[in-house]
Amino acid sequence: MKITYLGHACFTIEVADKKLIIDPYIKASSQFVGSTWQKAQNPDYILVTHAHYDHLGDTVELAKSSGATVLAPPELCRWLAGTEGVEKIYPFSMGSFVTESGIEIKMVPALHGSSIPLANGNNTYGAISCGFLVKYQNNILYHAGDTGLFGDMKLIHELHKPNIGLLPIGGRFTMDIPEAVYACKNFFSFDTVIPMHYNSLPLLAKIDPKVFQDALPGTAVKILDLGEEVQF
């Protein structure tokens, strides 16, 4: 499993001959550079945790250019198909793993809102917010999406035991560093944690991710630079 960080909460996950991208907010991001857009090209699957602009991002363009299947909550999938003309959608919700090309994907809860940005500047209902588990061979990755701390994270660990965690630490709209540390120490037993959703929006206070790293001495905390890859 190869994971590449493309900024904010966006990652590509490559397993076997398939490429997944989660929350492809790239071109409009303040972190945008051309190389990250190139790394985002030609996904087989696009996973969207919720409809906010900084997560839905470039989903429509990537889906149309690549023919990728978008996996997302049902209401968001239907909006993408009916309003934006995305041809391949896989609407699903909380429940059992779905299997695509030997890759198991499960939607799990997140504590956050969701709204679809409209052309007139307004917003409409954007379905539930969620996180994803991606399981392939011996690795189970947990992308938490935008979320606050919640007790059922413990159930996610007990039922699925993810060994790789992608967790928001930026505060204001998600967990901050103390809450993410609490989740790692009390709810999960990750081998590796990659922080995300920090220092990437003007509304987020600047933080030092090494504070998060230093608070988890028994865990491999990988602070990835833009475009950096890590292999599992």
Strand, helix or coil for residue 134: strand
Residue span of the structural domain in which 31 resides:
2-227
pLDDT, average across residues 28-43:
90
Give the pLDDT confidence of 123-147 residue by residue, as tens digits: 888 999 999 999 999 999 999 999 9
Distance CA 148, CA 187 (A): 14
Question: Is residue 220 one of the residues assigned to a domain?
Answer: yes
Using the 8-state DSSP alphabet, how is residue 206 labeled? P
Mean pLDDT taken over the chain: 96
Distance CA 55, CA 26 (A): 9
Q: Which helix (H) or strand (E) holds 98?
A: strand 98-100
Contact 4, 228 (CB under 8 A): yes
Give the pLDDT confidence of 45-84 residue by residue, as tens digits: 999 999 999 999 999 999 999 999 999 999 999 999 999 9
Show the tokens assigned to 55.
Answer: 């997560």
Q: How many domains does the chain have?
A: 1
pLDDT, average across residues 224-232:
97
Question: Is residue 166 one of the residues assigned to a domain?
Answer: yes
Give the pLDDT confidence of 161-214 residue by residue, as tens digits: 999 999 999 999 999 999 999 999 999 999 999 999 999 999 999 999 999 999
- CATH number of the domain to which 46 belongs: 3.60.15.10
**110 vs 21, 105, 121, 186, 212, CA distance in Å?**
18, 15, 25, 17, 21
DSSP 113-130: --EEEPTTS-EEE----E
Q: How confident is the model at residue 18 (pLDDT cuts 50, 70, 90)?
A: very high
The model carries a pTM of 0.97
- 207: exposed, middle or buried (Cβ count in 10 Å: 0-12, 13-18, 19+): middle
Question: Is residue 232 one of the residues assigned to a domain?
Answer: no
